[in-house]
Amino acid sequence: MAPTLHYMLENCIYGWSKLKLNPINVRNILNISYSQRLFTIVHPDYKYTLSINYYNPRTEFDITPVFWLPSYGVALSYKYEHSSYITFRFKTEDEVKQEIKKIEELQNIIKEFDKNEDKKIIEFAKLRQ
- 10 located within any domain: yes
What's the confidence (pLDDT) of residue 116? 93
Does residue 52 contact residue 75 with C-beta atoms inside 8 Å?
no
* Run means of pLDDT, 10 residues per run, the chain, 129 residues: 84 88 92 92 92 91 83 86 93 95 94 92 86
- 96 located within any domain: yes
What's the confidence (pLDDT) of residue 1? 61
- 123 located within any domain: yes
- 1 located within any domain: no
72 vs 61, 63, 67, 76, 113, CA distance in Å?
19, 13, 4, 14, 56
CA distance 4 to 110: 9
pTM for this structure?
0.80
- 107 located within any domain: yes
CA distance 99 to 106: 11
Domain span holding position 107: 6-128
- 85 located within any domain: yes
What's the confidence (pLDDT) of residue 129? 77
- 23 located within any domain: yes
**Half-sphere exposure (CA, 13 Å, Cβ side) for 24?**
29
> In the chain, how many domains are there?
1
